[in-house]
């Protein structure tokens, strides 16, 4: 019963996103050049800078890419993949090239892009990885090299979902991949030295969960959901000072103006957790301090990453724009500040 409820919620959630992503309403843009930030249609955005150019990667066919010289006006570039990798369609039946929730970082001379391959309403999913020595398409060395499957989840074998990746290193330099959406929650797994495979000998570590529970009904009565649900996804771990900060998105995205998405966080002195919110509640037990939620215009805010660029930290996320007919997901970038006792804040 519980698994069926989770699967149904996930299916509705992802089906709604499909309608938004491929709906008839166009973005309010002039072609795809010099698009004002408030008109950039973007879901699950991540941001990085190379030289004098900002690059934005988002959910989209082949992973969508934008560039900007000032973060205010954006130009769409060719996607990372002009053709879907053969392995993706073979490993995940039903996948058709729309890649979700990318993660971009720079390490040891390479840009590393992790991306999600999945199907609607299922944890039949993979995280893949591609690398490039530059993000500048005019550079003669520009070439995305795909490295295949990093980690896989399969229905009936895992109670977690291998999507929404985020690369992070601990204080000793050990690489980890955070990931997860719905099901049993967010996970953390060590990576190999090449950063292209999860270590098979180590089981993923649970770092956050909102898994719903069912109240045991009296004979003849229907089961009743207890407080909470399992809608948590999009982990992003950011190390600052003595702490690792786990950001996540809870409640429901992908429903346009009906979205209830919001961003929460906790922190830990160990990368494996436990991650506690400002009230001391563990994120494994449904905890998480609110970072930001929607308002009259933005109906649901979420899937945030943190980018440090030229000494300034930014939260990068999307919100569903109430000034569009269907509540299109738009790019939002805000400076991230910190309290004296080390907690993140947005205005």
At 243-281, the pLDDT tens digits run 999 999 999 999 999 999 999 999 999 999 999 999 999
Of residues 215 and 168, more confidently modeled: 168
What 3-state DSSP class applies to 32?
A: coil
Query: Residues 31, 75: contact at Cβ < 8 Å?
Result: no
Q: What is the pLDDT of residues 103-158, one digit of tens each?
A: 999 999 999 999 999 987 789 999 999 999 999 999 999 999 999 999 999 998 99
Q: What is the mean pLDDT of residues 192-200?
A: 94
Distance CA 288, CA 280 (A): 9
Query: Residues 45, 316: contact at Cβ < 8 Å?
Result: yes
Distance CA 175, CA 188 (A): 10
Res 316 pLDDT > 60: yes
Per-residue confidence at 217, pLDDT binned at 50, 70, 90? low
Is position 82 annotated as part of the catalytic site?
A: no
- Residue 102's pLDDT is 98
Q: What is the mean pLDDT of residues 279-285?
A: 96
Per-residue confidence at 211, pLDDT binned at 50, 70, 90? confident
Q: What is the largest CA-CA distance in the chain?
A: 70
Is position 44 annotated as part of the catalytic site?
A: yes
Q: What is the pLDDT of residues 5-33, one digit of tens each?
A: 333 333 333 333 443 343 334 444 445 88
Query: Residues 248, 264: contact at Cβ < 8 Å?
Result: yes
Res 327 pLDDT > 50: yes
Query: Residues 116, 165: contact at Cβ < 8 Å?
Result: yes
Q: What is the pLDDT of residues 287-306, one digit of tens each?
A: 999 999 999 999 999 999 99
Q: What is the mean pLDDT of residues 171-183?
A: 96
* Choices 1.10.510.10, 2.115.10.20, 3.10.310.10, 3.40.50.720: CATH for 2-345: 2.115.10.20
Which residue out of 124, 164, 233, 293 is catalytically annotated?
233
Token digits for 304?
């945030």
Token digits for 145?
């090299």
The strand order across the sheet containing 329-335 reads 298-309, 312-321, 329-335
Which residue out of 44, 124, 196, 230 is catalytically annotated?
44
Q: pTM here?
A: 0.88
Q: What is the mean pLDDT of residues 181-201?
A: 94
Token digits for 169?
């290193």
Per-residue confidence at 202, pLDDT binned at 50, 70, 90? confident
Over the chain, what is the mean pLDDT?
Answer: 88
- Residue 13's pLDDT is 39
């Amino acid at each position: 019963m519980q698994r069926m409820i989770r699967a149904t919620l996930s299916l509705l959630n992802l089906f709604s996103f499909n309608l938004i992503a491929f709906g008839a309403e166009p973005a309010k843009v002039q072609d795809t050049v010099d698009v004002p930030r408030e008109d950039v249609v973007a879901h699950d955005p991540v941001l990085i800078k190379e030289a004098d150019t900002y690059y934005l990667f988002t959910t989209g066919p082949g992973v969508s890419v934008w560039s900007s010289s000032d973060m205010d006006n954006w130009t769409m570039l060719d996607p990372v993949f002009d053709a879907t990798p053969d392995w993706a369609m073979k490993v995940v039946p039903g996948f058709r090239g729309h890649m979700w929730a990318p993660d971009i970082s720079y390490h040891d001379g390479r840009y590393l892009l992790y991306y999600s391959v999945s199907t609607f309403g299922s944890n039949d999913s993979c995280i893949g990885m591609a690398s490039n020595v530059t993000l500048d398409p005019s550079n003669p060395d520009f070439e995305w090299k795909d490295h295949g499957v990093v980690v896989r989840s399969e229905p009936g074998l895992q109670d977690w979902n291998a999507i929404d990746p985020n690369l992070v290193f601990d204080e000793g330099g050990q690489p980890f991949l955070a990931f997860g959406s719905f099901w049993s929650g967010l996970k953390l797994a060590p990576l190999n030295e090449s950063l292209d495979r999860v270590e098979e000998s180590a089981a993923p570590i649970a770092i956050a969960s909102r898994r719903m529970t069912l109240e045991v009904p009296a004979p003849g009565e229907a089961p009743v959901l207890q407080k909470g649900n399992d809608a948590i996804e999009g982990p992003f771990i950011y190390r600052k000072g003595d702490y690792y900060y786990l950001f996540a998105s809870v409640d429901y995205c992908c429903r346009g103006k009906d979205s209830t998405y919001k961003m929460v966080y906790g922190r830990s002195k160990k990368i494996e957790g436990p991650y506690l919110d400002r009230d001391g509640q563990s994120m494994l037990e449904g905890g998480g301090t609110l970072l930001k939620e929607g308002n009259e215009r933005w109906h649901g805010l979420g899937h945030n990453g943190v980018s440090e660029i030229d000494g300034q930290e930014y939260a990068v996320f999307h919100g569903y724009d109430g000034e569009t007919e269907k509540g299109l997901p738009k790019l939002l970038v805000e400076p991230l500040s910190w309290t004296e006792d080390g907690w993140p804040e947005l205005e």
